[in-house]
Amino acid sequence: MAPAIQKIVLNGARDIAFNKLILSQANVRRIKAGVSVEELAEDIARRKLLQSLNVRPVLDEEGTETGMYEVPAGGRRYRALELLVKQKRLAKTALVPCVVGDASSGTSAEEDSLAENVQRQALHPLDQFRSFKALIDKGLSEEEIAARFFVPVNVVKQRLRLTTISEKLLEVYAAEDMTLEQLTAFSVSSDHARQEQVWDSLSRSYNKEAYYIRRLLTESAVRVSDRRAQFVGIEAYEAAGGVVMRDLFTDDHGGWLQDPALLDRLVDDKLKVEAQAIASEGWKWVSAALDFKYGYANGLRRLVGEPIDMSADELAGYEALKAEFDALNEQYDGADELPDEVDERFGELETAIAAFEDRPLRYDTAEIARAGVFVSIDEDGALEIERGFVRPDDEVAPDADAGSEIGGDNPGAGVRASTSQAAITVGGEPAGESGGAESEPEEDALRPLSERLIIELTAHRTLALREAVGANFDTAFLAVLHVLVLNAFYRYASDTCVEITAKSTGFTAQAPGLKDTPSAKAIGERHEEWQKHLPEKSADLWNALVAFDGDSRQALFAYCASLSVNAVHEPWNRNKDRQAHADHLARAVTLDMAAVGWVPTVENYLGRVPKVRILEAVREAKGEQSAQLIDHLKKADMAAEAQRLLADSSWLPEPLRTREMSDEELDASAGDAGDEDLPEFLAGDIDADEGADGDPDGELEHLDAAE
């Protein structure tokens, strides 16, 4: 016969007057946590006491019950009731439901207190979500729920956001096959099919990080910080029916716009309106786009405008801003750190002053009629307007009579003469001669030379020019400079007989933000400055270059030559010597990419390489200890933190570093540094001249020119 199982006897419950209760010193809760006593008192006042107090009889020295009861478990509820009594909202003799423990049991009051707190399990997030949803369905608002349960409204919103997640994924989470962090990452999208598709694909992958889930779900969405969103404005986007998805569980920087097609249409519509307004100024064309590739204005002539003077009111405002800026600057001169409000005011003043100094330009009306404007959006989402570009086809045709005669008095007429001559005979017929029946030419009449004869004569002239230019550095330099300037500033111009072509890469694989780099801006400014000093017509260029002094020619030559530099890695191009020569150039100009403004960011490097590369960069720049501080972070957080660490480090990735010369190259360079022997034909001439008595005919002077 099986032994009888001893039955458990539960402690009895009864109502005890509040003034018969005292808080036990055996209560283990000492630290304030969770809902405050004040909030709990308000909850008890509204819905009464939901959980009884756990009490034990207080015994005297002889072990006899005194009629008082101590509260080892339920101390916060006791304090809340005590507060209601003090507020006269509860009678001190009010009956309180209690579970009375046996003072002679085998457990202590401390055990009772500890067990009640340790054995308690917090409500599962899914249960909390379903409870909040049930209250919402009954008509309560998120704010009312938060007020009733003394939790932040954002907590209620976070739990209710789980309604956007597929029920299938909720079941996965309930089965503890997914973490809460992973689950909440799915809330950035309300497309249940896409959520399930992403989870299925991740189930076969080692990477199930929350940031990666968000990236997959938002890869077709647009961040609020995107310049298109900033340009259009979130209010306009939402007014057009667009939806902005927010991530309530992490810092989402404003969220994601879920309809990129709608956003792009709004961008185009707004750009069109802006372009129409600019076109009303009288420009011949306006080209509007989200962005233009680097070099988009190559070959176009830039008009030189005159800044519009400030009005009296504008000048007064400008002077007031400058005075405030100078006063603040003097007040905080030498301060290690500026107060936030002062630093913010400095920024506002700098922006306002820059707006005054960046004056609009006034252009000639006739020039406006044949020029155009580029309209785009800058990296901050602001409208960027570049006025005054003339296309080659819109240039005014040069005077047909000017410089059309070879050998004329004008020393710069030679270039135009060659162009005019090329147009004189077309198909062997003189240009400009009217058709119709031709009269029989008189025997002694002056007739055009035949094309064959002209070809033969000009061949002789070409060889003579080559020999003469080859012996005159200054003219050769000027001729090459002339063709380089034509290529750089007068696209499609043919005003030269020097057949040298300087190619300029178009950067087909456009790097993000390339046209906004300090180098690109400096090149643009240099181009505009030279444009001001060059004539409008390519036919006038030779004379202008002749008039330049030597320093100006050299500076212009350097600029034009620089435009042909191409150190871009091109996978299809197997010419490895290009990068080696780029190193030579970099060493010659002491190029330091960090000094010219390149800084590693999430966008241009850190977010596009694996974690091992990020750690390598931090380790090289800041040391092993700094690398260890971030090696546990997730990829996105690691990239962001690395950007902060590397901000002032001057660290560069390998492709941006200038390679040092090898020992063999140094030896070769040292060997080449010695005096080189002159070509034999020149050395022979010098020996012959030195053998004569002095230099009676001034031959050495000509040899210097030849060299």
Indicate the pLDDT class of residue 104, thresholds 50, 70 and 90: low
pLDDT reported for residue 663? 55
Q: Tell me: do 605 and 687 sit in the same domain.
A: no
Fill in the DSSP letter of residue 535. Answer: -
Percentage above 90 pLDDT, the chain:
7
pLDDT for 397 beyond 80:
no
pLDDT for 568-578, tens place per residue? Answer: 776 666 666 76
pLDDT reported for residue 84? 92
Does 562 or 121 have the greater pLDDT score? 562
Q: What is the mean pLDDT of residues 65-82?
A: 87
Out of 247-261, 265-279, 632-646, least confident range: 247-261
Out of 158-167, 186-195, 435-444, 697-706, least confident range: 697-706
Q: Tell me: do 87 and 133 sit in the same domain.
A: no
pLDDT reported for residue 255? 73
pLDDT for 701 beyond 50:
no
pLDDT for 434 beyond 90:
no
Out of 121-135, 260-274, 423-437, 491-505, least confident range: 423-437
| Structural domain count of the chain | 5
Which candidate, 34, 18, 32, places its Cα nearest to that of 83?
Answer: 18
Q: Tell me: do 621 and 651 sit in the same domain.
A: yes
pLDDT reported for residue 412? 36
Does 705 or 548 have the greater pLDDT score? 548
pLDDT reported for residue 458? 64
Does 444 or 209 have the greater pLDDT score? 209
Residues sharing a CB contact under 8 Å with residue 447, sequence separation 6 or more, in sequence order: 441
Does 438 or 151 have the greater pLDDT score? 151
Q: What is the mean pLDDT of residues 287-300?
A: 81
Q: Is residue 599 part of a domain?
A: yes
pLDDT reported for residue 618? 94
pLDDT reported for residue 17? 92
Q: Tell me: do 105 and 131 sit in the same domain.
A: no
pLDDT for 684 beyond 60:
no
Q: Is residue 291 part of a domain?
A: no
Instruction: Using only the alpha carbons of the chain, give its radius of gyration.
Output: 42
Find where tokens 């040391």 sit.
623
Q: Tell me: do 68 and 170 sit in the same domain.
A: no
Q: Tell me: do 555 and 623 sit in the same domain.
A: yes
CA angle 17, 21, 24 (to 5 degrees): 165
Find where tokens 């960011």 sit.
601
Q: What is the mean pLDDT of residues 377-402?
A: 78
Q: Tell me: do 557 and 506 sit in the same domain.
A: yes
Q: Tell me: do 560 and 684 sit in the same domain.
A: no
Q: Which tokens hold the place of 179? A: 């973490």
Does 502 or 301 have the greater pLDDT score? 301
Out of 149-153, 463-467, 644-648, least confident range: 463-467
Q: What is the mean pLDDT of residues 618-641?
A: 90
Which run of H or of E encompasses 134? Answer: helix 125-137
CA separation, residue 358 to residues 172, 318, 346 (Å): 59, 12, 18
Q: What is the mean pLDDT of residues 74-89?
A: 89
The top-scoring range by mean pLDDT among 143-152, 376-385, 619-628 is 619-628
Q: Which domain CATH number covers 138?
A: 1.10.10
Q: Is residue 635 part of a domain?
A: yes
Indicate the pLDDT class of residue 111, thresholds 50, 70 and 90: low
Q: What is the mean pLDDT of residues 657-665?
A: 68
Does 669 or 431 have the greater pLDDT score? 669
Q: Which tokens hold the place of 3? A: 């032994």
Q: How far is Cα 545 from Cα 556, in angstroms, rounded to an integer?
A: 10
Indicate the pLDDT class of residue 404, thresholds 50, 70 and 90: very low
pLDDT reported for residue 86? 92
The top-scoring range by mean pLDDT among 139-143, 161-165, 288-292, 671-675 is 288-292
Q: Tell me: do 514 and 649 sit in the same domain.
A: yes
pLDDT for 44-53, tens place per residue? Answer: 888 788 888 8
Out of 193-202, 283-292, 339-348, 489-498, least confident range: 489-498
Indicate the pLDDT class of residue 418, thresholds 50, 70 and 90: very low
pLDDT for 54 beyond 90:
no
pLDDT for 210 beyond 70:
yes
pLDDT reported for residue 427? 25
Query: In which domain, by residue range, is 57 found?
Result: 13-118
Full DSSP string of 48-101: ---SPEEEEEEE-TTS-EEEEEEEEE-HHHHHHHHHHHHTTSS-TT-EEEEEEP
Indicate the pLDDT class of residue 87, thresholds 50, 70 and 90: very high
Q: Which domain CATH number covers 36?
A: 3.90.1530.30
pLDDT reported for residue 413? 36
Number of Cα atoms under 13 Å in the Cβ half of residue 224: 17
Q: Is residue 147 part of a domain?
A: yes
pLDDT reported for residue 707? 29
Write the single-letter amino acid at 57.
Answer: P
Q: Is residue 183 part of a domain?
A: yes
Q: What is the mean pLDDT of residues 129-135?
A: 75
pLDDT for 408 beyond 50:
no
Q: Is residue 707 part of a domain?
A: yes
Q: Tell me: do 490 and 569 sit in the same domain.
A: yes
pLDDT for 472 beyond 50:
yes
Crossing angle of helices 518-533 and 473-489, in 10° steps, is 110
Does 228 or 686 have the greater pLDDT score? 228
Where among 118, 148, 166 does a domain terminate? 118
Out of 393-397, 528-532, 547-551, least confident range: 393-397
Where among 118, 151, 174 does a domain terminate? 118
Where among 291, 322, 350 does a domain terminate? 350
pLDDT reported for residue 141? 81
Indicate the pLDDT class of residue 433, thresholds 50, 70 and 90: very low
Q: Is residue 229 part of a domain?
A: yes
Out of 121-125, 139-143, 515-519, least confident range: 121-125
pLDDT reported for residue 615? 94
pLDDT for 682 beyond 70:
no
Q: How far is Cα 583 from Cα 585, in angstroms, rounded to an integer?
A: 5
pLDDT for 664 beyond 90:
no
Q: Is residue 257 part of a domain?
A: yes
pLDDT reported for residue 621? 92
pLDDT for 616 beyond 90:
yes
Q: How far is Cα 190 from Cα 194, in angstroms, rounded to an integer?
A: 9
Q: Tell me: do 215 and 163 sit in the same domain.
A: yes
Q: Tell me: do 706 and 580 sit in the same domain.
A: no
pLDDT reported for residue 8? 56
pLDDT for 266-283, tens place per residue? Answer: 988 898 889 888 888 888
Buried b (16+ CB within 10 A) or exposed e, 579-616: eeebbeebeeeeeebeeeebbbbeebbbbeeebeebbe
pLDDT reported for residue 463? 63
